[in-house]
């Protein structure tokens, strides 16, 4: 991966801050800002009118919709619902599924997920749904497929699980989960927030029914996407104005409509991935047509660099007296993304982070809105863990800056 090129595309990286809180939110791409500005200057009118600028705005939205379809690897842009956040999109989805629930229907959630993918499903208990928790292994914090199987049965309607843990970085075997869930005739919803900044999302290969992630953690602005299988989106009750047709997908799941400029700006992500795939060549010639091959190539490069980063930090933390490293200790890109959490014996995570704050390195402590997992690991639900969440624009030198400081603490 051409790291210099990658970093040059993120204006915020010009300063001397080290950004290691990317699981909280990543920096934004210049190509995204370019698209945003261009839209607001040349297309900032309401869609649906017959005059030229309105028609241009509509075709730009359609272009963004189509690019996001390529980004998650579906052929049908109607399967792309956009909204302000993953939390809102999952709430909307759960509200819709809730309208189809019969008392006694079962829904499986995990105790290893961000609460955004637990609370909306728990709320369906009020409609008579029976919620079952897929519990993580209390030592490793990881979800084991064999623990899911006894929870599945003829009444299971839906299973909702995260793709990559926002605390451990562990990648869950979504395809294997999908096969088991579908064998029971149930649906699978996946929170891809922790995964999408790191690997190419492929909803076809994963065989998921719903898949959501947030653009502000994927190098864009505060905006999000939900993929839904077309026949399900058509079947489920819409959540918008009463006169919006049930055939009108994805519109019927975008109450209050979608933010046009932020949706359009995400074409900047596919612009960037396309340029990154060719080593940074051709960025001046942007915009270019979105290609799935380029997206996959870009994420192969990203994954390889991320594995180098994971190895560097894990090498420092593993077997270090006084450090409890959480989750998988292997840097293998097939097993994890570069989100690494730990606690230090005898120190509050808050105090560890405060020591680092003064050195212009952004890391973070807490439960990261996954309090059930933190408690299951036997940790303080508020003080939680110290989390270092990296992405591909981070460098080995940045990790060395951090570990030199941690070295003095443990």
Ligand X SMILES: Cc1ncc(COP(=O)(O)O)c(C=O)c1O
User: Shortest approach of ligand X to residue 214 CB, angstroms?
Assistant: 3
CA 323/CA 345 separation, integer angstroms? 6
172 binds ligand X (CB under 6 A): no
Query: What is the rounded CA–CA span in Å between residue 99 and residue 93?
Result: 10
Cβ proximity to ligand X: between 6 and 116 the closer is: 116
Least CB distance from residue 303 to ligand X, whole Å?
Answer: 19
The stretch among 140-148, 186-194, 196-204, 317-325 that binds ligand X (CB under 6 A) is 186-194
**Are the C-beta atoms of 313 and 342 separated by less than 8 Å?**
no
Cβ of residue 87: shortest distance to ligand X, in angstroms? 3
Count the residues of the shown chain that bind ligand X, applying the rule CB under 6 A.
14
* Cα–Cα distance for residue pair 86/76, rounded to 1 Å: 20
> Based on CB atoms, which residue is closest to ligand X, 214 or 349?
214
Q: Provide CB contacts within 8 A for 104, sequence distance 6+.
A: 128, 130, 155
| Binding residues for ligand X restricted to 204-263, rule: CB under 6 A | 214, 224
Interface residue with ligand X among 74, 86, 92, 110 (CB under 6 A) is: 86
CA dist 245 and 243 (Å) reads 6
Answer for which of 98, 120, 194, 331 binds ligand X (CB under 6 A) is 194
Show the site string, 318-357: x = touches ligand X by CB under 6 A, - = not. ----------------------------------------
Least Cβ distance, residue 64 to ligand X (angstroms) = 18
**Token output for 330:** 């292997």
Q: 12: which DSSP letter? A: G
Instruction: Please provide the DSSP assignment of 290-348 as one string.
Output: --HHHHHHHHHHHHHHHHHHHHHHHHHHTT-TTEEE-S-----TTTB-SEEEEEETTS-
What are the CA-CA distances from residue 396 to residues 31, 105, 167, 199, 366 (Å)? 25, 49, 21, 20, 25
As measured in angstroms, the least distance from the Cβ of 168 to ligand X is 11
- 199/312 with CB nearer ligand X: 199
**Contact flag: residue 168 with ligand X (CB under 6 A):** no
- Between 25 and 280, CB nearer to ligand X: 25
* From 57-65, 120-128, 187-195, 348-356, span contacting ligand X (CB under 6 A): 187-195
Residue 26 beta carbon to ligand X: minimum distance, rounded to whole angstroms: 11
Interacting positions 99-118 with ligand X (CB under 6 A): 114, 116-117
Handedness of CA 353, 358, 359, 363 (dihedral sign): positive
The SS3 assignment for 283 reads helix
By CB under 6 A, residue 193 contacts ligand X: yes
d(Cα 192, Cα 272) in Å, to the nearest integer? 20
**Shortest Cβ distance from residue 408 to ligand X (Å)?**
30
Q: Which residues bind ligand X (CB under 6 A)?
A: 85-87, 114, 116-117, 162, 166, 191, 193-194, 214, 224, 369
């Amino acid at each position: 991966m051409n790291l210099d090129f990658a970093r040059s595309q993120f204006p915020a990286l010009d300063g001397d801050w080290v950004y290691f809180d990317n699981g909280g939110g990543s920096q934004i791409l210049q190509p995204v800002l370019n698209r945003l500005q261009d839209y607001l200057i040349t297309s900032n009118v309401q869609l649906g009118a017959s005059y030229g600028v309105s028609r241009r705005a509509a075709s730009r939205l359609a272009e963004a919709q189509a690019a996001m379809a390529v980004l998650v690897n579906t052929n049908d842009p109607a399967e792309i619902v956009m909204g302000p956040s993953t939390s809102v999109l999952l709430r909307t989805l759960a509200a819709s599924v809730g309208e189809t629930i019969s008392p006694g229907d079962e829904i499986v959630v995990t105790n290893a997920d961000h609460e955004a993918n637990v609370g909306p499903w728990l709320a369906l208990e009020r409609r008579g749904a029976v919620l079952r928790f897929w519990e993580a292994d209390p030592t490793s914090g990881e979800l084991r497929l064999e623990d899911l199987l006894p929870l599945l049965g003829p009444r299971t309607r839906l299973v909702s699980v995260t793709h990559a843990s926002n605390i451990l970085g562990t990648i869950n075997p979504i395809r294997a989960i999908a096969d088991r869930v579908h064998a029971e005739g149930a649906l699978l919803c996946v929170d891809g927030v922790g995964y999408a900044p790191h690997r190419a999302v492929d909803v076809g290969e994963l065989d998921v029914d719903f898949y959501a992630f947030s653009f502000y953690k994927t190098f864009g602005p505060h905006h999000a996407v939900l993929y839904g299988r077309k026949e399900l989106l058509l079947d489920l009750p819409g959540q918008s104005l009463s006169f919006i047709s049930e055939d009108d997908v994805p519109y019927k799941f975008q109450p209050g409509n979608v933010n046009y400029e932020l949706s359009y700006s995400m074409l900047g992500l596919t612009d960037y991935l396309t340029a990154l795939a060719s080593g940074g060549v051709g960025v001046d010639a942007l915009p270019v047509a979105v290609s799935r091959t380029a997206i996959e190539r870009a994420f192969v490069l990203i994954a390889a660099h991320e594995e180098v980063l994971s190895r560097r930090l894990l090498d420092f933390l593993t077997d270090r007296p006084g450090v409890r490293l959480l989750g998988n200790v292997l840097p293998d890109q097939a097993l994890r993304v570069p989100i690494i959490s730990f606690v230090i014996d005898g120190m509050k995570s808050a105090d560890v982070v405060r020591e680092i704050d003064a050195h212009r390195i952004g890391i973070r402590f807490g439960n990261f809105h996954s309090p059930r997992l933190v408690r299951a690991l036997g940790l303080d639900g508020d003080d939680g863990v110290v989390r270092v969440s990296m992405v591909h624009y981070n460098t080995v030198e940045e990790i060395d800056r951090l570990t030199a400081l941690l070295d003095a603490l443990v």
